[in-house]
Amino acid sequence: MIIEATGKSAHSVTIKRLMKFFLDSANLAELKDAASWGIVDGVTTNPSLIAKEGFPVQEQVRKICDIIDGDVSAEVVSLVAPEMIVEGRRLAAIHKNIVVKVPLIPEGIKAVAAFVKEGIRTNVTLCFSAAQALVAAKAGAYIVSPFVGRVDDIGWPGIEMIDDIMTIYRNYDYKTQVLAASVRGPLSVIQAAKAGAHIVTLPYKVMQQMFHHPLTEKGLEQFLSDHRKVFDLVNA
Ligand code: G3P
C-alpha cells in the first residue's frame, strides 16, 4: 500500500493502492534489462530459478539486491521448521530487502510464526487454495504466493483462487499481501489486477510481452513514414 499525502492537512491524505510488478527471475542479465524499464518493484526467486543460474542462493540474491532496490524473495530448502529458521535467518542477514520464502506446509507455517517474532518478513509460497492463503494470513505472512498458472495447467480457473483470497482478506484486516505467481502471460496479469492482487510476479518474457501490441508497432511505423515523406525531403 503506497500512501500519498495530498493537500495541506493530514485529513486530506489519499491512500493509493498501486499494483507492484516483481520479476520472477534469478538471471542477472534479465534483471538488469528489466530494471532499466523503471517498472520493477521487486524480485521473486525459487530453488528452480536459482539452480538455473548455477550459483549458491546467498551469492545470487546478494547480486540481485544490488540490481533491484525492492523486496527480493529467497527460498529455504529445508523441510523442518528449526532448519528453515536457521536457513531463513542466514538469508535475511544478506540484505534488508530479503524476504524469506517458505513453502505452505505445516513446518513452513511454524517457521513463519518464529520469523514474525524476529521481524523477518516471509513470502509463503506454493499456495494453491484460499484455505491455504487463510492459514498464511493467520500466521502473519508478509506475502502469500498463489500459483495461478499451475492451477490453470490442470484445467482449473487459477484466477478464481485469487478472487476468493482477495474476498476473504477484504472481510478482515489481514496485512498479508497477495502476490499472483506462476503467471503465463499478460492476460493473467490483467486478471490478477482486476482481482486486486497487491503484487504480480512476471517471468522476463511475460514482462516483455506487456509492452507489445501490433497496432502500436504499426502506428509508430506509419507516423515515422509520414514524417519522413515531408521532412526528409525538406532536409535532403
Ligand atoms: O515464483 C513462482 C513461480 O516461479 C512459479 O512459476 O511457471 O514454475 O509455475 P512456474
For residues 174 and 233, the model is more confident at: 174
CB of 46 within 6 A of ligand 1: the answer is yes
Q: Residue 44 CA: which ligand 1 atom is closest? A: 1
147 C-beta closer than 6 A to ligand 1? yes
What are the φ and ψ backbone dihedral angles of 138, each rounded to 5 degrees? -65, -30
22 lines ligand 1 (CB under 6 A): no
Of 20, 19, 16, residue with least CA distance to 43: 20
* DSSP per-residue string spanning 33-86: HHHTTT---EEE--HHHHHHHTS-HHHHHHHHHHH--SEEEEE---SSHHHHHH
- Measure the CA angle with vertex 111, ends 26 and 49; round to 5°: 15
Pocket test for ligand 1, best of 46, 73, 102, 123 (most atoms within 8 A of CB): 46
Active site residues: 101
Please give the DSSP secondary-structure letter assigned to residue 147: B
CA of 186 to the centre of ligand 1 (A): 15
Pairing outcome for strands 2-5 and 122-127: unpaired
What is the average pLDDT score of the chain? 94
- Rounded percentage of the chain residues whose pLDDT exceeds 90: 91
**What are 42-70's pLDDT values in tens digits?**
999 999 999 999 999 999 999 999 999 99
Tell me the average pLDDT across 89-95. Answer: 98
Q: Is the pLDDT of residue 236 over 90?
A: no
Q: Are 178 and 170 in contact, with CB atoms under 8 Å apart?
A: no
* Closest C-alpha residue for ligand 1 atom 6: 182
pTM, rounded to two decimals:
0.91
Whether the CB of 169 sits within 6 Å of ligand 1: no
**Over the stretch 70-86, which tens digit does the pLDDT of each residue have?**
999 999 999 999 999 99
Q: For ligand 1, atom 3, name the residue with the nearest CA.
A: 182
Which protein residue has the closest C-alpha to ligand 1 atom 10?
Answer: 182
Res 8: pLDDT: 59
Residue with the larger pLDDT of the pair 12 and 193: 193
More confident of the two residues 12 and 168: 168
Distance, CA of 207 to CA of 182 (rounded, Å): 13
> Is 150's C-beta closer than 6 angstroms to any atom of ligand 1?
yes
Dist CA 142 CA 60 (whole Å): 22
- Asked if the model's pLDDT at residue 29 lies above 90, the reply is yes
When pLDDT is cut at 50, 70 and 90, the band that residue 235 belongs to is low
166 CB within 6 A, ligand 1: no
List pLDDT tens digits, range 96-148. Answer: 999 999 999 999 999 999 999 999 999 999 999 999 999 999 999 999 999 99
| Ligand 1 atom 7: residue of nearest CA | 182
Q: Please, which pLDDT band fits residue 16 given cuts at 50, 70 and 90?
A: confident
Query: Given this model, what pLDDT does residue 210 score?
Result: 97
pLDDT tens by residue, 38-47: 999 999 999 9
How many angstroms is it from 147 CA to the middle of ligand 1?
7
The DSSP call for residue 12 is G
Is 6's pLDDT higher than 90? no
What are 202's strand-pairing partners? Answer: 23
Q: At 164, give phi and psi (nearest 5°).
A: -65, -45
CA of 46 relative to ligand 1 center, distance in Å: 8
Distance, CA of 167 to CA of 234 (rounded, Å): 61
Answer yes or no: is pLDDT of 2 > 50: no
